[in-house]
Amino acid sequence: MTSSLPSKQPSSVGELLRRRLREVNRSRDELAEVLEVPGAYLDDLISGARRPPLPGRTDIYQKMTSFLRLGRNDLAACAHAERADATRGEAPAPEPGVRRLLLELCEPGTAQVLERRRVRQGSAELAGFIQRLLDVTQGAVRRLLDDQITLRLAAGARGTTYLELRLNVLEFLDATPDTLTTDDLTEFVQPRIARWDVNLETGVLWVALRGHEPRERGRGRAPGRRATGGSPAGDDGLGP
């Protein structure tokens, strides 16, 4: 597949999408249907109100590339550059409620040390560990985008639509420590992470994953296999 883009590269994903929609004479609604997202999601992406998702954490770029007849790496290059510009500076800090719930999942001794260090030194260190824990969870949740049957069944069980539930997954996959919500923890993190710990001397992250049997409300699950160093692994099921 080759791109017919002009030599001057667009400065953003939104600019690239606007240009290609015009050049191939396709509509925003047609693209939204191909991506399986609400039109408002695409509007926000094109306008710049929504930052472009990380290429490794979404399936929309592959679909955009095919539909708009772009070069394989055009969108990924724009997204990486745009995100890099937006994330320069101090590490983002999670909200207090999110921090508390994540530390409750941490080994108690380590959690106490991390909280004391946060109070003395700021949130950068803890935010970095939370980002790595988030990477583990998002790596597992990403596989849901390839399992349309599971998403449709889960949507039906909840009385919501497939598009709404798919959007929830896409939103979580783009979450960072500062945008993570308590709903994200209930929906995606707690059903997958049983316990985590970190060696504060070496920085090695240890994650105990929950089991893979279907989850029922009010019923806990035993810890499953471990992931170290932030390697993506985990349960593909949805939370309650």
Q: Sheet containing 205-210: give its strands across.
A: 193-198, 205-210, 223-228
For the chain, where do the domains classified as CATH 1.10.260.40 start and end? 13-86
Using a 10 angstrom Cβ sphere, with 0-12 exposed, 13-18 middle and 19 or more buried, the burial of residue 180 is buried
Position 160 pLDDT exceeds 50: yes
pLDDT of 91 reads 60
CATH number belonging to the domain at 13-86, selected among 1.10.260.40, 1.10.760.10, 1.10.3720.10, 2.60.120.10: 1.10.260.40
pLDDT of 84 reads 82
Rounded distance between C-alpha atoms, residue 213 and residue 200, angstroms = 32
pLDDT of 6 reads 45
pLDDT of 83 reads 85
Q: At what angle do helices 39-47 and 28-35 cross, to 10 degrees?
A: 110
> pTM for the whole thing?
0.79
pLDDT of 25 reads 96
Position 156 pLDDT exceeds 50: yes
pLDDT of 238 reads 57
| Encoded tokens for 119 | 């109070």
Angstrom distances, CA of residue 129 to CA of 52, 187, 204, 226? 23, 20, 10, 16
pLDDT digits 0-9 by tens, 29-72: 999 999 999 999 999 999 999 999 999 899 999 999 999 999 99
Q: Helix or strand or coil: residue 174?
A: coil
pLDDT digits 0-9 by tens, 15-26: 999 999 999 999
Rounded distance between C-alpha atoms, residue 104 and residue 114, angstroms = 12
Question: CB–CB of 35/58 below 8 Å?
Answer: no
pLDDT of 230 reads 38
Q: Rounded mean pLDDT of the chain?
A: 84
Rounded distance between C-alpha atoms, residue 94 and residue 102, angstroms = 10
Rounded distance between C-alpha atoms, residue 227 and residue 209, angstroms = 8
pLDDT digits 0-9 by tens, 83-125: 887 666 556 789 999 999 999 999 999 999 999 999 999 999 9
pLDDT of 85 reads 75
